[in-house]
């Protein structure tokens, strides 16, 4: 029976509902290793980023896909990997993932990452864009006024809406979830936009971090009706983790529920149980544990199981949150399949589930929920 479930999950075409593009060109070993950790510092002397769940997973699973079975360790892997052309390496790993559709956050990475058009040529999977709210606002700061900023932002979302699958916000990074939940007034936005624009004109970076303008962006996104993704929980040290608990969003979720917009809580670890509660009690809240799967590797089955404790199975989605090295795009899918199969099979073996229950749940999380929420399945 386990073989039936394992093979069904191996063959299941996934939708990766939150991912970044792979690397556009070859990078040196130090850069590559910096991209397989959320830390912005080099490892301590005498240690390696490969001494981690993700590092072990790379060495355990990726050489075979790349035809590098003879490698003997991380240094050997990196040396042989450098000899592979980027398009070939990327194509092998992305297509080995079995992902049929990638929803790509285009809000960061610049020239380091492939454009969505280039990514389309590197994979047989479909590629659709998730547009980042903060980036949209930052691109407008030099071309509008404080008085016109609120309208200009809404107009830009309206212009983009037919071409994107949804929106993404990094309010968790820029402020935290402990913001005032009410929609800001136009006068509040004008004052905040004036303050921001004056700072930019004086030489400050055009980085949107004002809580009033961040709230404005969230409400404007909800007004479009497209799904809105919010990073929650674990990330790099640019955030304050305790302010990224999605439970802090409870009042705001009540406020925006009438819009009908689906809120997609991304990654969530270590607050995935709080996210599961929110998905349980609010009809418009969904979650994934994407980032945590790669970084917990062989232990990720526990987090996968915990994400399914309380949330309805129709409210949990698959994502990899892969960024840069295509090993992450591949491993996200491989580890999700392995962890999900292990969890579901244990419930079948204990008599609580049938095999059909397990297969249906795997299809919901791996593919069908994303197709329902984001649409666009016109094939």
- Nearest to residue 261, comparing CAs of 232, 229, 230, 226? 226
Is residue 88 situated within a structural domain? no
Residue 103 forms part of a structural domain: yes
In a domain, 259, yes or no: yes
Q: Is 257 helix (H, G, I), strand (E, B) or coil?
A: helix
pLDDT reported for residue 379: 43
Residue 237: pLDDT band (50, 70, 90) is confident
β partners of residue 103: 128
Residue 186 neighbours by CB under 8 Å, 6+ apart: 150
**What pLDDT is attached to residue 252?**
98
pLDDT in tens, 164-193: 999 999 999 999 999 999 999 999 999 999
Sign, CA torsion 119/121/126/129: positive
Query: Which residues have CB under 8 Å from 33's CB, separation 6+?
Result: 43, 48, 49, 50
What CATH number has the domain bearing residue 178? 3.20.20.140
The mean per-residue pLDDT over the stretch 41-63 comes to: 89
The answer to whether the CB of 176 falls within 8 A of the CB of 240 is yes
Number of domains in the chain: 1
Q: Note whether residue 39 is domain-resident.
A: no
- 44 located within any domain: no
Computed over every residue of the chain, the mean pLDDT equals 95
pLDDT, one tens digit per residue, over 323-341 is 999 999 999 999 999 999 9
| Nearest CA-CA partner of 99 in 125, 137, 72 | 125
Domain that holds residue 303: 2-27+98-374
End-to-end CA distance of the chain: 32
Residue 178 domain-assigned (yes or no): yes
Q: Give 364's contacts (C-beta < 8 A, 6+ positions apart).
A: 313, 314, 316
Whether 122 is in a domain gets the answer yes
Residue 225 — left, alpha, or beta (φ > 0 → left; ψ -120 to 50 → alpha)?
left
Give pLDDT tens digits for 119-176.
999 999 999 999 999 999 999 999 999 999 999 999 999 999 999 999 999 999 999 9
For residue 112, being part of any structural domain is answered with yes
- Rounded distance, CA 303 to CA 316, Å? 13
């Amino acid at each position: 029976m386990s073989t039936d479930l394992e093979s069904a999950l191996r063959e299941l075409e996934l939708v990766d509902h939150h991912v970044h593009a792979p690397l556009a060109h070859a990078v040196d070993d130090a850069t590559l290793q910096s991209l397989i950790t959320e830390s912005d510092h080099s490892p301590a002397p005498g240690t390696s980023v490969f001494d981690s769940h993700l590092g072990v997973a790379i060495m355990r699973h990726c050489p075979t896909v790349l035809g590098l079975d003879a490698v003997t360790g991380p240094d050997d892997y990196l040396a042989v990997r450098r000899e592979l052309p980027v398009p070939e390496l990327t194509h092998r790993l992305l297509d080995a993932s079995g992902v049929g559709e990638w929803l790509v956050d285009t809000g960061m990475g610049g020239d380091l990452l492939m454009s969505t058009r280039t990514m389309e040529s590197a994979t047989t999977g479909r590629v659709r864009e998730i547009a980042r709210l903060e980036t949209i606002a930052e691109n407008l700061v030099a071309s509008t006024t404080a008085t016109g900023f609120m309208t200009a932002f809404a107009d830009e979302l309206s212009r983009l809406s037919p071409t994107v699958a949804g929106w993404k916000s990094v309010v968790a990074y820029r402020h935290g979830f402990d913001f005032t939940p009410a929609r800001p007034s136009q006068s509040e936005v004008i004052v905040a936009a004036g303050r921001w624009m004056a700072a930019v004109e004086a030489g400050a970076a055009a980085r949107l971090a004002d809580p009033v303008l961040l709230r404005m962006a969230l409400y404007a996104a909800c007004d479009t009706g497209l799904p809105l993704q919010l990073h929650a929980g674990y990330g790099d040290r640019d955030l304050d983790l305790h302010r990224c608990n999605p439970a802090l969003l409870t009042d705001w979720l009540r406020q925006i529920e009438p819009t009908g917009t689906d809120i997609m809580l991304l990654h969530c670890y270590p607050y995935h149980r709080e996210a599961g509660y929110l998905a349980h009690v609010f009809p418009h809240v969904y979650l994934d544990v994407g980032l945590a799967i790669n970084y917990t590797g062989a232990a990720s089955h526990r987090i996968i199981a915990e994400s399914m404790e309380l949330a309805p199975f129709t409210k949990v989605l698959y994502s990899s949150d892969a960024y840069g090295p295509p090993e992450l795009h591949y491993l996200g899918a491989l580890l999700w399949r392995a962890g999900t199969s292990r969890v579901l099979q244990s419930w079948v073996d204990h008599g609580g589930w049938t095999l059909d229950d397990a297969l249906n749940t795997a299809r919901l999380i791996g593919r069908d929920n994303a197709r329902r929420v984001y649409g666009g399945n016109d094939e």
